[in-house]
Amino acid sequence: MMYPIMVKIDFSQTVRAARTPKPVIITLVVHWLIKPFSMVAFAQFFFGWVFQLLFTATETIRGAEVTLANSYIAGAILLGIAPCTAMVLMWGYLSYSNQGHTLVMVAVNSLAMLFLYAPLGYWLLSANNLIVPWQTIVFSVLIYVA
């Protein structure tokens, strides 16, 4: 999926992208400081309050009874943390944007995801009293990113 777009990138633009880091910094701030916490708020609002009566059933996770609402909140948190990197190059290409900046943003976010996803996910899930094993989160990062 990424190969056709990568062939069309002028890699000299990536050098210019390093000289103007503002778009990359904005992307990092949005992906790692704003989006995860807004997703927690949305998940808690909709699954924990608005639609709580629809998800009253429980399931057993590692010997603990967990409501479906909490399972959905945990899933929404884990999805909210992960920045979408695969389609960014395609969206940049379709919008005639600076592909060099797009490539740098994808690379930086992918590297950041390797180191930030698991700790941030574990912290947000723990702060919301949700059960997802640490090994599952790390294994997901290895499969999803690495």
CB 117 within 8 A of CB 26: no
CB 99 within 8 A of CB 10: yes
Residue indicated by tokens 């010997």: 63
> Range with the lowest mean pLDDT among 35-44, 65-74, 78-87, 118-127?
78-87
CB 9 within 8 A of CB 103: yes
CB 33 within 8 A of CB 80: no
At residue 146, the pLDDT reads 67
State the Cα–Cα distance between residues 62 and 40, nearest whole angstrom: 23
Pull the structure tokens for residue 56: 């009253």
Tens of pLDDT, residues 86-138: 677 777 777 777 788 888 888 888 888 888 888 998 899 988 888 788 888 88
pTM value is: 0.78
At residue 4, the pLDDT reads 65
Mean pLDDT for the chain overall: 83
Task: Evaluate if residue 1 carries a pLDDT over 60.
Answer: no
